[in-house]
Amino acid sequence: MRNASTILHLDMDAFYAQAEQASKPSLRGKAVIVGGLGPRGVVATASYEARVFGVHSAMPMAQARRLAPNAAYLVPRFTFYRTISDQVMGLLRALSPLVEPLSLDEAFVDLEAGGAAWDGESARLAGVRLRADIRAVTGLTGSVGLAASKMLAKIASEQAKPDGLVLIAPGTERALLGPMSVRTLPGVGPATGDHLRRAGITTVDELAEAGEDELVRLVGKAHGHGLYAMALARDDRPVVAEREAKSVSVEDTYDVDIHDRVRVELEVQRLAERCVRRLRGSGLSGRTIVLKVRRYDFSTLTRSETLRGPTDDPAVVREAARRLLDSVDTTGGVRLLGVGVSGLADFTQEDLFAQAAERGAPGEQEDIGEEEPPQERTGEEAAPAEHHWRPGHDVRHSELGHGWVQGSGLGRVTVRFETPDSPPGRVRTFRIGDPQLTPADPLPLVRRRPGEDGGAGDPSGAVPVVEHGNTR
């Protein structure tokens, strides 16, 4: 660990929901819930207004609707979120060449590497300026944690939420962590937390007091050593600028289990083609084709086939996925299907183009058990194609202009006509198939300068800033 709090962790506040509120004037200050809207959908993000009702991410959408029946329920628009994320990541890279994105809305930054900070005060000022710049450029808010390690910077940003900054000064880490729940530490999920609780360990202080040997006995060698180090606030992991993608994959969860084998095969072929589009869009190819099947009883089977070399040929991927499906029994029904490609490379091996016709010459095939491979999913791609008018998505009317779908059903679609910089707009209902109404691309958020009205931050630093042990 370093001697100054120069590792920064940024976490945008309720990112998807906040982006939707910024894009839709009629939703500002209201409860907004983004996620899958089908019977098996889950909450991706809930605005802070929705969290008052007890709604949180990963909650079943049916439960969220019971808790907050009057909230706005929207399907994600990941293309729009990526645009905002690119702007935010650009601001981070202006601070330092060492930026480690964790997701669209979260990243670590090594402030020392770019010369943006060399001690606690310069790091604090860099964090204040960053938050103001993010708000100025996107209109959104983010929370910043500053510490001498990645683990502590992430804990600090969680304490800073929403819309704040927390700095953990070197030397204060143990006192801060001690009374916290063991669940605060990375990698301690519900199962590990329950196991430790049964052993009488509920706080980080109690982890440290248990000792390394006892933790190894309780949770195993690798996890035990790691837990003990974290309990002592030890974390020497560097900020890594490039996190190499391990796989590209897509999957769909179906509202009703699929029992028809022909339909299952068609869905796998469609997923394979979508996966290849993403693969090519990233300029990649891959050697290992992966099929994921979650059955009616929630059992998840994963099958893979390794080719002779990397490919981005849709015919090759389709054929490999078909062969993998042959080894899976789907007679009881299928609730989720996924196709992925791993063993990524930035080139293709041309002789693989003939493999699509080689039905009798499969590559190495292995059953990789119940473990799920890393998934990369997008909302628009994951949504079933038949849901043309999805709540929250953009449309354009030839006379009324830009709007977004509030809902659809019974042959009708309801649209609110407004833009990010307009007042709350009026609502109109149309019949499905109205030729004047077409899908549209998201409109960009209005770019602002620091200090302007409309939500720009105060770059002077007059924002909530907490240094562990002191309030500024």
267: left (phi over 0), alpha (psi -120 to 50) or beta: alpha
Residue 42, beta-bridge partner list: 60
Q: Which two tokens stand for residue 214?
A: 């006892």
The question of whether 467 is a catalytic residue gets the answer no
Encode 59-80: b = buried (16+ Cβ within 10 Å), e = exposed: bebeebbebbeebbbbbbbbeb
Residue among 20, 106, 251, 267 flagged as catalytic:
106
Angle, vertex CA 390, rays to CA 387 and CA 391, nearest 5: 150
Q: Is the CB of residue 57 less than 8 Å from the CB of residue 43? A: yes
For the purposes of burial, counting CB atoms within 10 Å of the CB of 143, is it exposed (0-12), middle (13-18) or buried (19 or more)? buried
Euclidean distance between CA atoms 143 and 166, whole angstroms: 8
The number of helices, as runs of H, and strands, as runs of E, in the chain is 14, 20
- The four Cα atoms 260, 264, 265, 270 give a dihedral, to 10 degrees, of 140
| SS3 category, 77 | coil
Residue 103: CB atoms within 10 Å: 10
Euclidean distance between CA atoms 381 and 401, whole angstroms: 25
Q: Provide the annotated active-site residues.
A: 106
